[in-house]
A and B are shown apart, each in its own frame.
Chain A
Amino acid sequence: SSELTQDPAVSVALGQTATITCRGDSLRSYYASWYQQKPGQAPVLVIYSRHHRPSGIPDRFSGSSSGTTASLTITGAQAEDEADYYCNSRDTSGDSPVVFGGGTKLTVL
């Protein structure tokens, strides 16, 4: 089955730039979307369809994609950005039509 692979953990100094990556064959055909999840809360959409930001999401969050890799960038990371981040995409080649990455724990130092 298709998978999306994320690094388990990324750390960033306060005010610096963090990049979280997501790799998978499904990203050749479909753009990734990204979710932020804080402890005890439901995931929240932060980027959809590669680079679009929902209303209310700070513009320090941006998305990009190249080949089989999608990236979520947080420019000027804030303490409140410390969270788990998940990518997802549609997938027509595997067992399921939807696939999620394993998640990345972002620590803001």
Chain B
Amino acid sequence: QVQLVQSGAEVKKPGASVRVSCKGSGYSFSDYYMHWVRQAPGQGLEWMGMINPDGGSTTYAQKFQGRVTMTRDTSTNTVYMRLNSLRSEDTAVYYCARERGSGDVWFDPWGQGTLVTVSS
């Protein structure tokens, strides 16, 4: 079955960087854009950006421009999200999600989430 498996929880100090991975299986990895969405404690879903695994082109939310980098490794069907200059407000669960649709867009499935805690 189609599955996205993310890396484990991270604890980082302010100013540090974090890299979260997301490994896809059960489908043709390069055929679907992958998105990253985060959710701060008790808050809603916030779109961060996306990557086309076929070629590696990216689009980032303006809020994260200059601080986030999304990459992929097609040999292992894995996408990565790196967030730099972490601050306490970046404490959140980070999800990868596979894009579906061509005009409309929806996400299915989602990874299980990776909790990133930023604390001194």
Q: A interface vs B, CB < 8 Å?
A: 1, 30-31, 33, 35, 42-45, 48-50, 54, 86, 88-90, 95-103
Contact = CB atoms under 8 A, between A and B. Distances in A.
A98 to B, nearest CB: 5
Interface in B48-98: 50, 59, 61-62, 95, 97
A86 B45 contact: yes
B104 A42 contact: no
Given A96-B47, A98-B47, A44 B110 contact: yes
Given A49-B106, A90-B103, A96-B62, A42 B45 contact: no
Interface string B92-116: 0001010011011111111111000
Nearest to B60: A96
Contact of B111 (A42, A95, A97, A100): A42
A34 to B, nearest CB: 9
Q: Is the interface of B mostly helix, strand, loop or mixed?
A: strand
Given A48-B101, A95-B61, A102-B44, A42 B107 contact: no
A98 B46 contact: no
A104 B47 CA distance: 17
Given A43-B45, A86-B44, A89-B104, A96 B110 contact: no
B37 interface: yes
B44 A42 contact: no
Given A98-B50, A103-B45, A90 B104 contact: yes
